[in-house]
Chains A and B, each alone.
Chain A
């Protein structure tokens, strides 16, 4: 097995024993990028020369120091909506084609402190709006399990980089499923932490009350390692929670005996691919066999989550994206007649179709006469959904659901029908509405060999429990660090 194919904790073991150097590890990933990036197109911007240079510096440092931290010298990538000083941050939009941030996102600063090695910035749906990464202004990212299929979105590039071994881990952002759905489509682990657990400072805002940063990894143990590094209070994000730091690896392997795992019919309704259903039923049997108690739980308002989500997220987006006006940074139209025309031309030329549609939806929902019927209504329904989850978690420790109704769909298959695209997030959006954490882990393959994802949800700040329950399944089934059949593809 090439070094690039290993997990973080496997590389950590090798580095501890001094069997490999950080330079060798980094070179392995750089070679892998050279071999497959032309097929997967996960990256918008590569920093491989800088990465190799940084690796050399860390090797020298590690020669002298006794103890290394778990992410020190491990190459990773960031979704291109996290600010990196000196490195372009485009949000996959023409609007920010030349944006060089004057400061770093909090998570990037954290990973610099941990000694992480940045390989580059990954492709995404423009401003994180989409479910397939097809809304990027720059390139189409391909699913390594079938290059004709989408990787999911909006953090598609981050999911693919991990699935194709072109990064050991990546960070994505999840507003309505943008980490969990692509993790599911690409056969990797993806986690959306509790709202407020990870600072959003320097994450280009889409919908501020829903956005949250989280990791993509090759297995659950790696997820715990990355989460350890990125959580924590940040005074620069006023919604960041001030809690004592946890070590999520401590409780990881405690098992699920006696735990209550909830299953709700609402997540197994119409439109669920039969193989996904079957795979989830098998997973439920696995948990039962491991000593967990399976309990039926029910929701009252879940059917309204997607509508509420698109109203809230579009409204917040229309407000957040008002800042792109061609004055202070980013794209500016070449020809215009006066200031208002400069705004209009700049925004109309700089934003892509889906982003403009969301801004329009959001502006409509917030406009006088419609505010109560759409926006306020959606915020009220948000309360109902939040209460729904609270009541469900009174009866179980975690909830087990499919991550998405289907496995990855074909490139171009859903681009002409926005509503159909939105429906691919039907099982992930309620989680952001309630602010609770969720993790997607692989639980099988469909008849075409495409990965199926299982989603585990828990109450606010139940990350420890979620990781424990996820690890137990992964360990029992051995479904970790899955390898996409990339080499055999044309």
Chain B
């Protein structure tokens, strides 16, 4: 299996990243090498094996639906690159 430039560009868009043509070339090479290495996994027949998401038997943890102290509006916005009227400000998304 070999990774193509098109694969890289397609995945980059999914990941909301962009790369120069040189960077795409490097990714085809370096990402491709890691994926080739990971191909060894296909040697194993795992058709009867259950997947492990978590090593411990993790269960949903619930608590009573009672409000607890939380960040103030000011604290929540303190790190925002841009904010206005108590909200995060983003570029216009609709014309």
Contacts and interface: CB of A to CB of B under 8 A. Distances in A.
Interface of A: 98-100, 102-103, 195-196, 209, 235, 238-239, 241, 301, 303-304, 306-308, 310-311, 318, 322, 325-332, 336, 338-340, 342-345, 347-348, 351, 356-357, 359-361, 363-364, 367, 373-374, 376-384, 386, 418-419, 422, 433-435, 460
A343 B27 contact: no
B41 A381 contact: yes
B33 to A, nearest CB: 5
Contact of A360 (B17, B63, B80, B92): B17
A380 B88 contact: no
Contacts of B40: 303-304, 307
Interface string B16-44: 11110000000100110111011011101
28 contacts: A100-B79, A303-B40, A304-B40, A304-B44, A306-B37, A307-B37, A327-B81, A327-B90, A329-B79, A332-B81, A339-B90, A339-B93, A342-B90, A342-B91, A343-B16, A344-B18, A348-B17, A360-B15, A364-B11, A364-B35, A374-B41, A378-B41, A379-B53, A380-B50, A382-B51, A384-B44, A433-B55, A434-B55
Interface string B46-68: 10011111111010110100000
Contacts of B11: 360, 363-364, 367
B78 interface: yes
Nearest to B50: A383
A308 B57 CA distance: 20
Contact of A418 (B7, B33, B55, B58): B33
4 interchain residue pairs of minimum CB distance: A435-B55, A329-B79, A379-B51, A332-B81
Contacts of A422: 34
A196 B63 CA distance: 19
Contact of B82 (A98, A325, A332): A332
Given A102-B79, A360-B15, A360-B27, A384 B49 contact: yes
A175 B16 CA distance: 25
B32 to A, nearest CB: 10
Contacts of A99: 79
A257 to B, nearest CB: 31
Given A327-B81, A328-B88, A348 B18 contact: yes
Contact of B46 (A367, A381, A386, A460): A381
B14 interface: yes
Contacts of B37: 306-307, 310, 419
Nearest to A334: B81
Contact of A330 (B35, B44, B79): B79
B80 A361 contact: no
Nearest to A377: B41
A102 B56 contact: no
A327 B58 contact: no
Interface of B: 7-8, 11-12, 14-19, 27, 30-31, 33-35, 37-38, 40-42, 44, 46, 49-56, 58, 60-61, 63, 71, 75-76, 78-82, 88, 90-93
Contacts of A351: 17
Nearest to B62: A238
Interface of A is mostly: helix
A364 B49 CA distance: 23
Given A342-B90, A360-B31, A379 B16 contact: no
A418 B16 CA distance: 22
Contacts of A367: 11, 14
A348 B24 CA distance: 13
A287 B50 CA distance: 38
Contacts of A345: 18
Contacts of B12: 360
Nearest to B36: A419
A238 B34 contact: no
A386 to B, nearest CB: 6
Nearest to B46: A380
Contacts of A332: 81-82
A332 B16 CA distance: 14
Nearest to B80: A328
Nearest to B10: A367
A36 B68 CA distance: 46
B1 to A, nearest CB: 9
Contacts of A384: 44, 46, 49
Given A308-B41, A348-B19, 7 more contacts: A328-B79, A344-B16, A351-B17, A357-B27, A360-B31, A381-B49, A418-B33
B80 A327 contact: yes
A383 B52 contact: yes
B46 A377 contact: yes
Nearest to A336: B91
A195 B41 contact: no
A219 B61 CA distance: 37
Contacts of A356: 17, 19
Given A367-B11, A380-B46, A344 B51 contact: no
Given A344-B17, A360-B8, A238 B60 contact: yes
A322 B81 CA distance: 17
Nearest to A195: B55
